[in-house]
Amino acid sequence: MPLLCFSQNDEVGNWLMYFGQNRLSDKWSIHSEIQYRSYTISADKPEQILIRTGLNYHLTDRAMLSAGYAYIPNYHFIPSDFEPDVVEHRIWQQHIQKNNIGRAVFEHRYRFEQRWINDKFRTRFRYRLLTLVPLNNFELEKGTFFLSLYDEIFINNSPDFFDRNRFYAALGYQLSKTTSLQLGMLHQQVSSLGKWHAQLAFMFNPDFRKSEK
């Protein structure tokens, strides 16, 4: 996998991403996610496509448990055909906990993954610390610009203990209560290899709960 991801290490990659949390009730929501990852910033050389879904259980308004499935085809920089070179099926579980310090929102995400990569099975643990800082309002309400920063470490359950680290910085804008955009850069370090990725993310979190009469 690292050989696929970093075979064009001198290029800046491009990730186009959609994330959704579809609220069904006070306790349950559905996670939906699609990512298109390209070797180049022009997004014309597909590296990886990630389709992830899951079910969320909201313990409180600041804590959530989730579990789900992801389908991830990977492609060489110069493909021999339109078929993926490596296909991964993934089961995942996670816990998210949030807290505030002033206007800054901190989110701790603990994720455990079971991965079937072609005919091999691996497990991996991930921890991400995310910070959202509103700039022109105290809270993330409509019309708010905000900074989004995170660092995430990936750890394998194998002799190659360290898998990768990701650092992300972006400027975001809250279009409405349910919709936001982020534009930023991510640096991914795998062993001694590092690469930058331009990122554009669209978040849409509709609420399907019935309004109280």
Could you tell me the residue ranges of all domains in the chain? 2-204
* Total residues belonging to the chain: 213
What's the topology of domain 2-204? Porin (2.40.160)
0.85 surpassed by pTM: yes
Contact by Cβ (8 Å): 22, 7: no
Give the Cα separation of 201 and 182 in Å (integer). 5
**Within 13 Å and on the Cβ side, how many CA atoms surround 120?**
6
What pLDDT does 77 receive?
Answer: 81
The mean of the pLDDT values for the chain is 92
Mean pLDDT of 139-166: 95
